[in-house]
Amino acid sequence: MKEALIFDLSRKGRRGIRFGSPDVPSKPVQQMIPQKHLRSEPADLPELPESEVVRHFIRLSNLNYHVDKNMYPLGSCTMKYNPKINDYTSGLQGFTSMHPLQPEKTAQGCLRLMYELSEMLCEIAGMAAATLQPAAGAHGELTGILLIKKYHESLGSKRNKLLVVDSAHGTNPASAAIANYEIVSINSNAEGRTDIEDLRQKLTPDVAALMLTNPNTLGLFEKDILAIEKLVHENGSLMYMDGANMNALTGITRPGDMGFDIVHYNLHKTFSAPHGGGGPGSGPVGVCDKLVPFLPVPVIEKTGESNNARYTMNMNRPESIGRMMNFYGNFGVLVRAYTYIRMLGAEGMQSISENAIINANYLLSRLLKTFDLPYPKPVMHEFCLSGDRQKKQHNVRTLDIAKRLLDYGFHAPTIYFPLIVSEALMVEPTETETRETLDAFADALLAIADEAENNPELLLNAPGQTPVQRLDEAQASRQLNVCCFGC
């Protein structure tokens, strides 16, 4: 399973490409480039035929797990397959050779794409306007919270608290803290949903907003959302929706219709852009009418219709919170999301959610007898099991189950999140997996539960089939060894 460095594969004199002699007059390089910039010895570059270069990199890519290899059941992350056409369109020369400071009149196509993407996102979530600037979901949260702050300031009111439910993603309280809010945690009830009594008690006049994820991180729809909305708005507070789980809602229901004032989208989740190597992501934010004046600048505006339509970037917005990003957001990701929505259309948007929900419920039904489900079903697009039974009976932890899954050729689900579930094992299959893939994943988990009973050592020592075995994960992310494989 080891792969040598490309330098070690090199053999002197091997060539991938040979250039013919130029058929235009040329001077020796020594006459064109000043002596002091020239090398005294040739660079020590690897020498290999093209076939060996390609094979080397394909072998390297196989050492890694990726969404083109197999299913990625990471709960909350919506790791769906990324259609290749998205990469084709985002690589079109008309996009890639744009300069961000080009005059508006030469960038009409790009501006139109951004304008139309905002409109489509607003339609999907029932919002009045959107900004495409934020670089990720967490950055969208910060943007939304700054909008909340500005809104209350514009009314002359000072509210310094944000309510966050205890099942929330860690970015919610983190974003609130960055914006200088005091965070008040709301309990979940026995059903795994917002405890309305607890909310009622903590909803004091200094609360700026409630941050809610719907469906929540347990994959459960907040059935009492309209009652919650009424309470929060009667208190003069705003409703923020963490839209990372929009994959369960598109084409079925809309945050705006549930009374949310702000929502962030994760284009790298719901809208099929890759979560590649730490980025880039994109976390647009949609808002209701009364928050539109505060949106970040520039705001893209349209005048005229069809062939006469012109798109401009308006910087003159006196109430704006300012810029959240240099230039306009991660444009390549916007092109991918635009392509995805356009390819699927309105019907396709609905089938995303329907298939995501049925896939999650199918998978859950296959695992239900073997693993504990701490909060009652039915679920939406994901579910959260607990490895408590396996821990109590066989002394293996969820971490061991996750590691053993790697030996079966699957990425592990999200584990130990949300924090309110002990030994959490959180699975989100997404709509892009076939029944056969879901069955293979369920079979692997069931086989591992069997091993936990009969041969727990296999789990405790897993993984055994991967290029590297069990890492000290905290140290691995602090002391990167990127110089070469296995050194």
> Which CB, 48 or 356, lies closer to ligand PLP?
356
Closest-approach residue to ligand PLP (CB): 137
Question: What does each C-alpha distance from 17 to 7, 8, 45, 312 come to in angstroms?
Answer: 17, 19, 14, 47
> Which CB, 75 or 463, lies closer to ligand PLP?
75
User: Do 95 and 335 touch, CB atoms closer than 8 A?
Assistant: yes
CB of 169 to ligand PLP, least distance (A): 3
CB of 140 to ligand PLP, least distance (A): 7
CB of 407 to ligand PLP, least distance (A): 27
CB of 2 to ligand PLP, least distance (A): 33
CB of 283 to ligand PLP, least distance (A): 5
The pair of three-digit structure tokens given for residue 447, joined into one six-digit string: 């086989």
> Which CB, 136 or 300, lies closer to ligand PLP?
136
> Which CB, 107 or 357, lies closer to ligand PLP?
357
Reported as type and span, the H/E element at residue 120 is: helix 108-125
- For 149, phi and psi rounded to 5 degrees? -60, -45
- For 473, phi and psi rounded to 5 degrees? -65, -35
CB of 279 to ligand PLP, least distance (A): 9
User: Do 272 and 82 touch, CB atoms closer than 8 A?
Assistant: yes
> Which CB, 169 or 404, lies closer to ligand PLP?
169
Binding region for ligand PLP (CB under 6 A) = 76, 136-138, 169, 171, 213, 217, 242, 244-245, 266, 281, 283
CB of 388 to ligand PLP, least distance (A): 23
> Which CB, 280 or 387, lies closer to ligand PLP?
280
> Which CB, 271 or 311, lies closer to ligand PLP?
271
- CA nearest to 371, candidates 266, 288, 445: 445
Q: Which amino acid is at 387?
A: G
Please report the DSSP string for 121-186 in residue order.
HHHHHT-SEEE---SSHHHHHHHHHHHHHHHHHHTT----EEEEETTS-THHHHHHHHTTPEEEEE
Q: How far apart are CA 157 and CA 150, in angstroms?
A: 10
- For 254, phi and psi rounded to 5 degrees? -130, 135
CB of 271 to ligand PLP, least distance (A): 12
Q: How far apart are CA 334 and CA 344, in angstroms?
A: 16
> Which CB, 281 or 286, lies closer to ligand PLP?
281
